[in-house]
Chains A and B, each alone.
Chain A
Amino acid sequence: MNERAISFGESGALFGILGAPEIPDPQRPAVLIPNTGVTHRVGPGRMHVELARALSAAGLVSLRLDNAGLGDSETVPGRSSETAALDLCAAMDALDARNISSGYVVIGSHNGAHDAHQAARIDPRIIGAVFLDGYVHSTPRAWLNRLLGKVGDRSRSGDPPSDGLYLTPRSGDALHDASDAEIHWFETPTHARMEADLVEFMRRQLALMYVYTGDVERDYHYAAQLIDAFPLLRGYRRLTLRHIPEGDHRYSRRTTREAMIDVLVDWVLSVNGQPKG
């Protein structure tokens, strides 16, 4: 275990755990893992720790970070969930200063996926991103599935609450006693905005991985929904799409979690190349 706590960002307000192999390869990308929900940097069920240690065993550097106001990072006035991507940029600055890698991959789950997307938009150092239960855009088939599902499954009590799809719009005592459902979601970009972002990502040859679990099944209905929503992705060689209906966004079953970690490590190892601005 070769891990080190680091402070970074303006005035060292942000906090993270840097994991590194014995001999880091600067030609490999470093992996950034932002918070999932309000859980601190260890991730739900300690998934981020297990992932970081698996990455390290595979020869990869990683940084598990706490966004401003979460875990051991200070609350930074002016920062909100909508600006959390800036925390990822600060993390890249910190790792650049250590000459650790030549590019970055962000692995984000839920609001972490939102952070990964927003960071990829604004920072060309990112060469790959994984979005676990991130943005979902509907399609005619998804709409039909949803309608048929409602007709055929009246025994169930409406849509489930959006368990866990949360951000931290508030901090301190305002968060106490808030149930999951009361902590609001991130805002999904419009279809046009998302499409424009994807065009840019493809121009930059970003490696993209989208994973959808059963926790978002009320919105993500079938494996190829992402491709149907954005046909420009069809044939994009740097796209990986996975649908895990039996999974949940917290990867609370060890078998699912370990399998996903294996997939993620292999995928990151396959990502190479310098950033293309």
Chain B
Amino acid sequence: MLSEHVHARRLLLHLLRAARRLNNPIYFGPAAQPLFGMLHRPQGAVRQTGIVLCTSWGSEGLRSYRGLRQLAQTLSQSGFPVLRFDYTGTGDSGGDGRHVRLAQWLDDLRQACAVLRTETGVAGLCLTGLRFGALLAQEAVASGAVSAQAVALWDSPPSGEVFVANLQQMDQALNEKRAQQRKVRSQMAPAARDELLGHDWPDGLEADIARLPGLRRDLPGRVIFVSRDRIPPDSVESIRLPDAGHWSDVDRIHAPWLPVASFRIVAERLSDGLP
């Protein structure tokens, strides 16, 4: 009985070591202000397509951090090299979030794609963007900043303007909830003009994001919509999911986004369609 336990523990430690070897932290970009990323090495037969995951903004990015890691691992188990990374001024990357603009983040995405190609030698790319990340991925491909064979748009907002409006509504709802819960003498100070939901939200960035269009008809390559209930009726390709994202629910604003069943479905579908 004891030896079984010891054997199981050894196996477990071996698996943990293997998992660590497959997830490689990586810094890239300018030395003074490097970008932080996590490269997930593929397992089994290596595919020719690498996947760059584009995270969402601020509170949505925090909610989905662990989930995107899990998605990356699921995809890497299907043979895809995968890169996750933090935009300038966010997460573990360098830079001050008070001064970021969309052009910087588009360039970050371009650099991330170049790093994935260099590190893994993949021939093609698929950008998989969640929420704001979907808008960014679309813009990167449409503007020619990135050349990708496919973009997967997960719970993509109808447009940048709608995304911004949704964040502002969430911010207002959260502030009202807090004001209701707190005593008069302990009300929080109003947020500064350049912060939203506790994150940096510079004016220029808001204007940039609000200008992002909805579905682009001029994208080269495949466009795959991924969602439970946000798939445009005229989309050519889509992956219907069982899980909702609860992106407009103020009570879940800090709750983890971990739709494991959806991860499996997305990995299976992308594996079927990408070399």
Which A residues fall within an 8 A CB radius of B? 1, 3, 5, 7, 10-13, 15, 17, 37-42, 44-46, 49, 70-72, 74, 76-77, 149, 153, 156-157, 160, 163-164, 172-173, 175-181, 183, 214, 217, 245-248, 250-256
A76-B256 in contact given A177-B246, A253-B195 (Cβ < 8 Å): no
Find chain B residues with CB under 8 A from A254 CB: 192, 195, 200
- Quick check: B178 and A248 within 8 Å, CB to CB? yes
- Quick check: B92 and A214 within 8 Å, CB to CB? no
Find chain B residues with CB under 8 A from A77 CB: 12
Which of A160, A178, A245 interacts with B255 by CB under 8 Å? A178
Which of B186, B192, B197 interacts with A217 by CB under 8 Å? B186
Annotate B187-209 by CB proximity to A: 1 below 8 A, 0 otherwise: 11101100101111000000000
- Size bracket of the B interface: 35 or more
Nearest B residue (CB) for A156 = B180
Find chain A residues with CB under 8 A from B199 CB: 45-46
Give residues 230-275 of B contacting A (CB, 8 Å). Answer: 243-244, 246, 251-252, 254-261
- Quick check: A39 and B16 within 8 Å, CB to CB? no
A to B CB contacts below 8 Å, 26 in the list: A1-B94, A5-B92, A11-B13, A11-B14, A12-B16, A12-B17, A12-B20, A41-B92, A44-B198, A46-B199, A70-B66, A71-B69, A160-B180, A163-B181, A176-B256, A176-B258, A177-B243, A179-B251, A179-B255, A183-B255, A214-B183, A214-B188, A245-B186, A246-B187, A248-B178, A254-B195
Find chain A residues with CB under 8 A from B97 CB: 46
B221 contacts the other chain (Cβ, under 8 Å)?
no
- Quick check: B66 and A40 within 8 Å, CB to CB? yes
Find chain A residues with CB under 8 A from B16 CB: 10-13, 74, 76
- The CA-CA distance from A195 to B94 in the complex, in Å, is 42
Which B residues fall within an 8 A CB radius of A? 12-14, 16-17, 19-20, 23, 25, 27, 32-34, 36, 38, 62, 65-67, 69-70, 90-92, 94, 97, 178, 180-183, 185-189, 191-192, 195, 197-200, 243-244, 246, 251-252, 254-261
Find chain A residues with CB under 8 A from B195 CB: 252-254
Find chain A residues with CB under 8 A from B92 CB: 3, 5, 17, 41-42, 49
A7-B20 in contact given A176-B243, A180-B251, A246-B186 (Cβ < 8 Å): yes
- Quick check: B259 and A176 within 8 Å, CB to CB? yes
- The CA-CA distance from A252 to B195 in the complex, in Å, is 9
Nearest A residue (CB) for B18 = A11
- The CA-CA distance from A38 to B13 in the complex, in Å, is 24
B157 → A minimal CB distance (Å): 21
Nearest B residue (CB) for A168 = B256
Residue of B16, B27, B192 with highest tally of chain A CB at under 10 A: B16
